[in-house]
Chain A
Amino acid sequence: MPAPGARAVGHPSAWLAWTASAASAALLMRNPWYLLLLGGAAVAVRWRLTRRAPTRSAVLLLASLVITSTLVNVLFSRAGDTVLLHLRLGWLGGPYTLEAVLFGAAAGLQIAVVFLVMMVFGVALTPADLLRRTPPGLYAVGVASTLGLTFAPLARRSFQDLAEARRVRGLRAQGVREARASVEPLVILSLERALAQAEALTARGWAAGTLEGRRRALALTGWIGIAAGLGLWAVQPAHPVWGIGLMAASLVALAAALRGTRARYQPDVWTWPDRLVVILSAAALALLMVLMARAPELLTYYPYPLAYLPGLHPAPIAVVLLLAGPILGRGRG
């Protein structure tokens, strides 16, 4: 049983931390074994929260991502020593290599895993969770991210409406051709719905609590400091102390500026499973950063010039295992 006031799926901030770590892992890893493990962990975590397996259309979408990426890379990459086929097709022809297939498939798998992580994000957080966590001064970002988060479900609903409307007008299902013709009305319909929500958000005083005076200046300094710290770290990777130090100081300034600016009617309750999710996510991210700094080759997979089987190392597996921790937590089921 969740604690009184606790949400069945857990604290939104805990899931924000998990999403940040899992998405970072998905974006930094290219080794297909780790990506498959991470994708499996994301599916299992989502199942733990919803007791629902990915739908057939989601599986088709993921498969099409991998296939499209592979095909595009095979068609346009001429690198690699293992020639599978040599076609004389003008600019499209030439040697099609095994290495291009493997590289394209790994890239497609990476996109698919990011998508799976975002599916967990979609069921664990609501647009209101994001709005409430948007720091004052970044309201435009809050509105934009809310519209982004609501756009996908709205687009799915709009697609169903459009498909139904076409049947009602006598059109039989036409697969890809129908999907292509639906793009423009789909975007318009979904945007109309998202804009209606944005209008309600505006009319109900969203952004009214924007910081003023010294706190506004302090917050602005904090944001600029964080950006400058990141830049410094990027251009001076050999001396990370300066960049990280600037970011840490800026974070303190930002925290001081944003402290106590907004109350909640029903604050989300932290429970031990939530804290554990944060600890595991932070540990996974820390380990990932260490691997990136010390042994980036453990995460990547580059099959050129000659294809080889990607290796396995316990450290990246540990990252995935840490991110799979919420499987043991509570869910709706």
Chain B
Amino acid sequence: MVELDRVSYWYPDSTAPALTGVDLSLLDGERLLVAGASGAGKSTLLRVMNGLVPHFYGGRFRGRALIGGLDTRQAGPATLARKVGMVFQEPQSRFLTSSIEDEIAFGMESAGAGREEIRLRVADIVGRLELGPLLGRSLDRLSAGEQAKVAIAAALSRHPGLLLMDEPCTELDPPSANAVVRWVEDLQREQAFTLAVSDHRLERWLDRVGRVVILRAPGTLEAAGPPREMRGKLPFGEPVGEAAQALGLPAEADREAVARALAALQRPEHAAVAPIRGERLVARGLSFAYNGLPALKDVDVEVGEGEIVGLVGRNGSGKTTLLRCLMGLITPTTGEIRLDGRSLIGVPVAERARDIGYVPQAPGSLLFSETVADELAFTLSSHGLENQPPVDPSELLERLGLKDVRDAYPRDLSAGQRQRVALAAVLVTSPKLVLLDEPTLGMDPRAQRDLGRLLRDLAEAGTGILVASHDVDFLASHAQRLVVLEAGRLLRMGDPAETLFAFDGFGTSLQELTGRAWPACVEDIVVSSRRK
């Protein structure tokens, strides 16, 4: 199905290659996981397979890519679309129509299929993919998981021989992501298409693919082979592999062996929550409605001084709404918010920003200056602090690993780097409270670990941190307390391991492996071994 022969590629105006001499072949019906750190070339490799590289992006292309017998140097994406379907990150931003059936039919209409053929094919795919209950609803009224399903249905509508998926589950909550992965696996078995998927959460796919390729910047294919052989070579350990290492087992150890070793661990008696030094944020009875539809209902939340609190819940449960209420971007219909005892009701956003650092889900929208250093200077000058910054901007950039890109254009950076620049831009005023909305989106595990370390440093310095995230492994590793929202209501709060385990579908990788609440993350194993 796929035959890549020494493929190298440079984006326009770039001297560094995005892919370097990649050789890869995929047989019909094979399932491939593309692994690699951010910027390793995963998305570029997938775009070579449908001709977007180089036809849509331009740049320099060397080598040869044969997809279903078509040479991509001659056949562009429009021709290849007959054989290749693609699911992008953030599928909702790529929808071209407003209804589910039209979205599925669009590719066939473009291909010039007859009306009856289109009608039969849409009915077939709606039936096979069990989308019937969604019909009649507008695409923007679907949940993120449902939108991902429609994007996959649209990609499969022309019965492609090859399905490409570029981090399709990034924005999904854990139950939705797991449901989509299982659904794709079932579809692939039924329809026998070739599948190539990239994801940072490797453990979701490792047991479901036949082969893993590992890319390393600048787009070099470092290793390829069956998942069992690749576990020890992955660019960053997936949680089970890391747990194996922490337990002193080989990284490629059998999952059952790891599960047995984890089950044998004794939970330390006082392992859980560190004492809270004082109440930094107290919010009581917060409610909010969008056009009359309740999004938050009587929610209480507290963050202590130096405490990291995780906020979890399904897509649409009200996490972002809560953070926006706390920041003042929307005004709650009822409730009270206090920071260090001072009421924030009626305090404008710009004034709150002196004490509260807020990084939204898409940090790119927070960046608008010419250079990384200018971003920090902008925040300081907005607060009138340019002559006496509470934090030295150069030191902060160094601490966040951004020293080498201080003069770079922020929007040209990788997702992880952009996230850190956005963080630096709000941390430069040394806020008392930091609100983070899905900070690990698009970050590889190594960047996530660095972020976790940074949050702990901030907490040790007394900053209160509230993190909304679908990344349960991240929260289990770094949060001291979890708050669970469901349909706008506070469902429960407490110790991360117990809370995640009790919340259906939100178990961490280790909890799913062992079927037990503890250990929830590799840090638990480390703490346990230290106490011994």
**Which A residues are within 8 Å of any B CB, using their own CB?**
126-128, 131-132, 158, 161-162, 164-172, 182, 184-185, 188-189, 192-193, 196-210, 261-267
Q: A158, A170, A189, A265: which contacts B379 (Cβ < 8 A)?
A: A170
Q: How far is the CA of A196 from the CA of B57 in the complex (A)?
A: 12
- Cβ contacts under 8 Å, A204 to chain B: 81, 86, 96, 106-107, 110, 154
Q: Mark B399-418, 1 if CB is under 8 A from A, else 0.
A: 00000000000010000000
* In contact, A170 and B112 (Cβ under 8 angstroms): no
- Cβ contacts under 8 Å, B52 to chain A: 199, 202-203
Given A131-B96, A197-B96, A265-B102: A165 and B353 interface contact (C-beta under 8 Å): no
**Is B205 an interface residue when CB atoms closer than 8 A count as contact?**
no
Q: How far is the CA of A267 from the CA of B116 in the complex (A)?
A: 12
Contacting A at CB under 8 A, from B94-111, are 94-98, 101-102, 105-111
* In contact, A264 and B115 (Cβ under 8 angstroms): yes
* In contact, B93 and A208 (Cβ under 8 angstroms): no
* In contact, B93 and A196 (Cβ under 8 angstroms): yes
- Which A residue sits closest to B362, measured CB to CB? A161
Q: How far is the CA of A161 from the CA of B361 in the complex (A)?
A: 12
- Cβ contacts under 8 Å, A200 to chain B: 88, 94-96
* In contact, B97 and A263 (Cβ under 8 angstroms): no
**Is B255 an interface residue when CB atoms closer than 8 A count as contact?**
no
- Which A residue sits closest to B428, measured CB to CB? A169
- Which A residue sits closest to B90, measured CB to CB? A196
- Cβ contacts under 8 Å, B88 to chain A: 196, 199-200, 203
In the complex, how many angstroms separate the beta carbon of B430 from the nearest chain A beta carbon?
13
* In contact, B96 and A201 (Cβ under 8 angstroms): yes
Q: B118, B362, B367: which contacts A265 (Cβ < 8 A)?
A: B118
Q: How far is the CA of A200 from the CA of B86 in the complex (A)?
A: 9
**Is B358 an interface residue when CB atoms closer than 8 A count as contact?**
yes
- Cβ contacts under 8 Å, B366 to chain A: 165, 168-169
Q: How far is the CA of A169 from the CA of B379 in the complex (A)?
A: 5
A sample of 4 more A-B contacts (CB under 8 A), given A168-B426, A169-B366, is A167-B329, A201-B96, A203-B56, A263-B115
* In contact, B114 and A263 (Cβ under 8 angstroms): yes
Q: How many A-B residue pairs have CB under 8 A?
A: 153
Given A167-B353, A168-B327, A170-B379: A208 and B81 interface contact (C-beta under 8 Å): yes
* In contact, B365 and A207 (Cβ under 8 angstroms): no
Q: B56, B82, B95, B382: which contacts A202 (Cβ < 8 A)?
A: B56
* In contact, B115 and A203 (Cβ under 8 angstroms): no
Q: B109, B118, B350: which contacts A170 (Cβ < 8 A)?
A: B350
Q: How far is the CA of A208 from the CA of B425 in the complex (A)?
A: 45
Q: How far is the CA of A182 from the CA of B368 in the complex (A)?
A: 8
| A-B contacts, 28 listed (Cβ < 8 Å) | A131-B96, A158-B365, A161-B362, A164-B365, A165-B366, A165-B367, A166-B368, A168-B327, A168-B349, A168-B426, A170-B353, A171-B378, A199-B56, A200-B96, A201-B96, A202-B56, A203-B52, A203-B56, A205-B78, A205-B82, A207-B110, A208-B112, A209-B111, A262-B112, A263-B112, A263-B115, A266-B101, A267-B115
Interface of chain A, main secondary structure: helix
**Is B113 an interface residue when CB atoms closer than 8 A count as contact?**
yes
**Which B residues are within 8 Å of any A CB, using their own CB?**
50, 52, 55-56, 77-79, 81-82, 86, 88, 90, 93-98, 101-102, 105-115, 118-119, 122, 154, 158, 327, 329, 348-350, 353-354, 358, 360, 362, 364-368, 378-379, 382-383, 411, 425-426, 429
- Cβ contacts under 8 Å, A205 to chain B: 77-78, 81-82, 107, 110-111, 158
- Cβ contacts under 8 Å, B368 to chain A: 162, 165-166, 182, 184-185
- Cβ contacts under 8 Å, A207 to chain B: 78, 110
Query: 7 tightest A-B contacts by CB?
Result: A205-B81, A265-B105, A170-B382, A200-B94, A185-B368, A167-B349, A209-B112
Q: How far is the CA of A31 from the CA of B349 in the complex (A)?
A: 47
In the complex, how many angstroms separate the beta carbon of A215 from the nearest chain B beta carbon?
12
- Which A residue sits closest to B369, measured CB to CB? A185
* In contact, B365 and A208 (Cβ under 8 angstroms): no
In the complex, how many angstroms separate the beta carbon of B186 from the nearest chain A beta carbon?
23
Q: How far is the CA of A127 from the CA of B425 in the complex (A)?
A: 37
* In contact, A208 and B94 (Cβ under 8 angstroms): no
- Cβ contacts under 8 Å, A128 to chain B: 96-98, 102, 106
In the complex, how many angstroms separate the beta carbon of A135 from the nearest chain B beta carbon?
13
Q: How far is the CA of A131 from the CA of B50 in the complex (A)?
A: 22
- Cβ contacts under 8 Å, B109 to chain A: 132, 262-265
Given A164-B329, A168-B327, A169-B366: A206 and B97 interface contact (C-beta under 8 Å): no
* In contact, A197 and B94 (Cβ under 8 angstroms): yes
- Which B residue sits closest to A207, measured CB to CB? B78
* In contact, B78 and A206 (Cβ under 8 angstroms): yes
* In contact, B365 and A265 (Cβ under 8 angstroms): no
In the complex, how many angstroms separate the beta carbon of B163 from the nearest chain A beta carbon?
12
* In contact, A203 and B101 (Cβ under 8 angstroms): no
Q: How far is the CA of A210 from the CA of B354 in the complex (A)?
A: 57
In the complex, how many angstroms separate the beta carbon of B116 from the nearest chain A beta carbon?
8
- Cβ contacts under 8 Å, B113 to chain A: 263
In the complex, how many angstroms separate the beta carbon of B313 from the nearest chain A beta carbon?
22
In the complex, how many angstroms separate the beta carbon of A325 from the nearest chain B beta carbon?
27
Task: Name the residue in B112, B348, B383 with the highest tally of chain A Cβ atoms < 10 Å from its Cβ.
Answer: B112
Q: How far is the CA of A184 from the CA of B368 in the complex (A)?
A: 8
- Cβ contacts under 8 Å, B50 to chain A: 203
Q: How far is the CA of A100 from the CA of B360 in the complex (A)?
A: 50
Q: B77, B353, B378, B379: which contacts A203 (Cβ < 8 A)?
A: B77
Task: Name the residue in A168, A193, A208 with the highest tally of chain B Cβ atoms < 10 Å from its Cβ.
Answer: A168
Q: How far is the CA of A193 from the CA of B383 in the complex (A)?
A: 31
Q: How far is the CA of A221 from the CA of B142 in the complex (A)?
A: 46
- Cβ contacts under 8 Å, A263 to chain B: 109, 112-115, 118
Q: How far is the CA of A169 from the CA of B429 in the complex (A)?
A: 10
- Which B residue sits closest to A126, measured CB to CB? B98
* In contact, B94 and A171 (Cβ under 8 angstroms): no
Given A162-B368, A168-B358, A197-B94: A206 and B101 interface contact (C-beta under 8 Å): no
- Cβ contacts under 8 Å, B97 to chain A: 126, 128
Q: How far is the CA of A209 from the CA of B107 in the complex (A)?
A: 11
In the complex, how many angstroms separate the beta carbon of A127 from the nearest chain B beta carbon?
7
In the complex, how many angstroms separate the beta carbon of A324 from the nearest chain B beta carbon?
28
In the complex, how many angstroms separate the beta carbon of B178 from the nearest chain A beta carbon?
26
